[in-house]
Structure 1
């Protein structure tokens, strides 16, 4: 089964009689319900098999395939994407990376039977600060007694199992563990479901909470060894953050199609809205953001296979920047739809639902500030020993759609990477590129090589006080700039496979670094004209707006 086959199962999104079309999705959202017909489609497709490694009977072998399938679901309905699928992926990855064979078999059986597994990590009092989570498990004979609360957990009531994060020791990096438990092995008298949390976005997703009162859990529920909980999460998040970065492009593509449709249908000032330069530019820039997200996230997904030792820095960088770009692109498209972007009825009503749904998606699982905090301690070392002097990643990393070895989860590391091959590729590409070159791509290369030199010098001097959550705003700004340079390096390296595209993506990324534009006004106008025309053509032909295996617009 492929993503294209899943898309065919979903059918025409604009067909009002389609039980999984826009009309049905919006009706379920108004009822604050999951789209039942959508879940039946995903049962038929066997979506959970995408989360199970091939060795255990599933289809998980390539991260880019997983992201493509999930992006197809999120393009139709983010609630369906989170409530049916992504939450089970977040939970199960911990079992694949660290669980024993019996735990892996149990998890595979549950998922392949279309069951759900909740990731019970979050506590409202501590947010993303897992090191201070208070829900605790203490030894009791051959098992454990669990006490405390978990809140804002997706699918907690309707999941047959959960992966639970709990304190098992003193505060610190070795003070927590993870457990795989099923609902039927927990005594009902020792746990209490908390009232459902209602949200402005993801309204159909069941967000629950639970309180444990000396609730016994079996000894074999422990995943790995006591105290491995944080390390396990850091490794697993490298997969889910990378996949999430690519997955979130799905709602943006749908929003872009809605904006294009509105610009072609809407009459303003005696013509189509699409005739207005501002409208055309807004659509072109959002499309450029989509291409930048796609190129960057595709490289990061390939790095899971080819450079897993670097994912401790690549995964949070991708999560942070793609989320920021997603929000900015939606803001541009909102300007195209105007007041229609807020309407909950009519043919453009899907936009407001997507805009509400993607807002929590960008801070759920890990907030943007937490992603930057993950990056900060790694930047000084990379600046001193790798940037401008370390080896470049192999060309295969940037050959989108090229062959990949099977995903090897045991190669992921919670430690700090020593090399940064994507940045190394920028140093290799830059060569004698000049900011005065007639070729705009070479000017972009020169700009980012210069940006990297400044970034290296500033990051190399960061002290201990600037490597934690209470770091200065200037330190956080450096981490932000690093994510942009990393994305631009990815785009430039991908662009070597097709010299005709992605200038618009580089232009949008460069706006985030400040300074004078690289493109002249005439070059920017021409680039945006090509992007707008390309996006409209793809929309009218009902073709995807993403990249093909050669880095060209498909």
Structure 2
């Protein structure tokens, strides 16, 4: 898949704006995205068929198909924003619909033209595609999979075994299946197949019962059993033995795009809590939102979400600009963004008290549903533990690359310049491991040096000096972290617990570096030396340093209260998007819920 770059129009607001307007039109009593309708489906564990159908009619499936195959996918940032808009209303719907991309991406990566075009036509016509990787007794350990594919006597393949805890596998017409094609297994012992269920002989496959889940209750989480299911030769994706390699590269993409669903849920939870705090007063008549400790809680939650958004935005742009580093970037995005949103929701739950635990039939019950639903994102496409382990395996390369200052300067500038159209995505540039390290943290010394130069040249030197102090402490923490990473010694089956602590710290440093890079690229110093708006960046840096255990004084912590004002200053139904902060004066993006 090689996407075609769109005209240079920033983040392609056109399709996003049209889509979010359509979502608002579908939100209301009796409509597919009505709050009461979605709550009733949740209570009944029922699939949101009307909402999914409405997304089909709105054209969302076209954004799962690369432009060269007849679809609309030429910028992953647009896909992230579209899925985020859906998740902002209901995560169950976003997860149910977005999984078609996971089912299809292996075919796009494999690169065979005709199979890709056939699949593209099926998806744009509304076909659901699932991806069957996990098994009942093996979880995330794909190399232990027992589903087998054996050459059939008359050509093609025979599939046998069971895949379980698979999203959309009962509703899907097409299923990408990872199967063992060599008895010994191993990295070259598995292959991928695109199974067309309509072409299977009767009795050769069975859809397993839906699994009742804590969150996303209406989603089709089930399984499929295969019994000598005959597949034609052209069902093979790529070459025999390439299955694990293709799926790992595919996960570099889908793990990154999972950030969209976390961010949308975070938007929804933060807006619900802010509206609650603004609409309820204490005995003295003061709105809860204006009480200092609640304002600080809202500010820290806002800063956390902006930090997560910075990570997600840089990650999806890195698919285009830093493709060879995605083994690192995707692991950070998938581990950090859901964890940050989980922490945000937990913080807001304490603020809401019992109102945060009410059922979906109560006016405040949407928060409880968002809390339940979001728990699954940390598990989808590899858990946080799996992704942190993937980071730890790359510690030697990451530490060495940082020490040697290995930075893809052009790629980093593009990944952190949200107003420019990205270069075409080239899947051939994906790699199982990043050989050079990671440009985002490795570029931090140069970013701090640029900030120091701005502070020297700015009329508001004192203001930027305080920002520089925060950034310098971040740089110091990042340098100490890489030294600790270089000192870790481990074997694949005996990773020390402290390595996972270092991985979490790496995610924080990476996220804060994303925020600083974005600010520098998206808000260049003005010609008269006036500093660019930096409220959001201060909040992000204070939040990151606090989570790292670095010292922050009371005056610096005021940045969190300022972030609360970014949230509370917006009318009901709006949220503090980082994209608004990067483009002051642009229209606020409405909260479709």
CA contact (8 A) 2:326 2:434 kept: no
Using the TM superposition, name which of 474-483 and 362-371 deviates more.
Answer: 474-483
Equivalent residues in 2 for 1:390-539, closer than 5 Å:
390-391=406-407, 393-394=409-410, 395-431=413-449, 439-465=465-491, 468=492, 470-496=494-520, 497-498=522-523, 499=532, 500=534, 501-517=536-552, 520-525=553-558, 527-539=559-571
Residue number among 78, 93, 97 corresponding to 2:105 in the alignment: 93
Cα offset, 1:375, TM superposition: 1.0
The number of residue pairs the alignment matches comes to: 545
Segments of 5+ residues of structure 1 without an aligned counterpart are none
- 2:194 matched to 1:180? yes
Cα offset, 1:385, TM superposition: 3.4
Cα offset, 1:17, TM superposition: 4.6
Indicate the RMSD between aligned Cα atoms, in angstroms.
Answer: 2.0
Residue number among 325, 334, 354 corresponding to 1:310 in the alignment: 325
TM-score where L is the length of structure 2: 0.88
- 2:278 matched to 1:268? no
Determine which structure has greater relative contact order: mean sequence separation of CA pairs < 8 Å that are 6+ residues apart, divided by chain length: 2
Distance 2:344 2:111 in 1: 39
Q: For each residue in 1:388-443, what CA deviation from the matched residue of structure 2 results, as whole angstroms up to 9, or x when unmatched?
A: 52235332321123221122222212233314211222011233989xx9723212
Equivalent residues in 2 for 1:174-323, closer than 5 Å:
174-271=188-285, 272-323=287-338
Equivalent in the alignment of 2:392 = 376
Residue number among 65, 68, 89 corresponding to 1:76 in the alignment: 89
- Deviating beyond 6 angstroms after TM superposition, the runs of 4 or more aligned structure 1 residues are none
Residue number among 333, 342, 354 corresponding to 1:339 in the alignment: 354
- 2:579 matched to 1:548? yes
Equivalent in the alignment of 1:49 = 62
Residue number among 143, 150, 162 corresponding to 1:138 in the alignment: 150
CA contact (8 A) 1:387 1:423 kept: no
- CA gap of 1:192–1:392, structure 2 versus 1, over 3 A, is closer
Distance 1:282 1:2 in 2: 34
- CA gap of 1:456–1:533, structure 2 versus 1, over 3 A, is closer
Residue number among 97, 116, 121 corresponding to 2:133 in the alignment: 121
CA contact (8 A) 1:373 1:469 kept: no
- 2:388 matched to 1:355? no
Distance 2:216 2:341 in 1: 16
Q: For each residue in 1:246-268, what CA deviation from the matched residue of structure 2 results, as whole angstroms up to 9, or x when unmatched?
A: 33201111111111111122232
- CA gap of 1:299–1:60, structure 2 versus 1, over 3 A, is same
Q: For each residue in 1:517-545, what CA deviation from the matched residue of structure 2 results, as whole angstroms up to 9, or x when unmatched?
A: 2xx213313x23321222122234x4442
Cα offset, 1:12, TM superposition: 6.4
TM-score where L is the length of structure 1: 0.94
- CA gap of 1:432–1:104, structure 2 versus 1, over 3 A, is closer
Counterpart of 2:178 in 1: which secondary structure?
Answer: strand
Segments of 5+ residues of structure 2 without an aligned counterpart are 1-13, 453-461, 524-531, 589-593
Q: For each residue in 1:95-147, what CA deviation from the matched residue of structure 2 results, as whole angstroms up to 9, or x when unmatched?
A: 00005222212211111011100111111211111111111111123211111
Residue number among 9, 21, 24 corresponding to 2:37 in the alignment: 24
Counterpart of 2:394 in 1: which secondary structure?
Answer: helix
CA contact (8 A) 1:246 1:297 kept: yes
Distance 2:277 2:485 in 1: 44
Residue number among 21, 25, 45 corresponding to 1:8 in the alignment: 21
Distance 1:162 1:221 in 2: 10
Using the TM superposition, name which of 369-378 and 451-460 deviates more.
Answer: 451-460
Cα offset, 1:269, TM superposition: 2.8
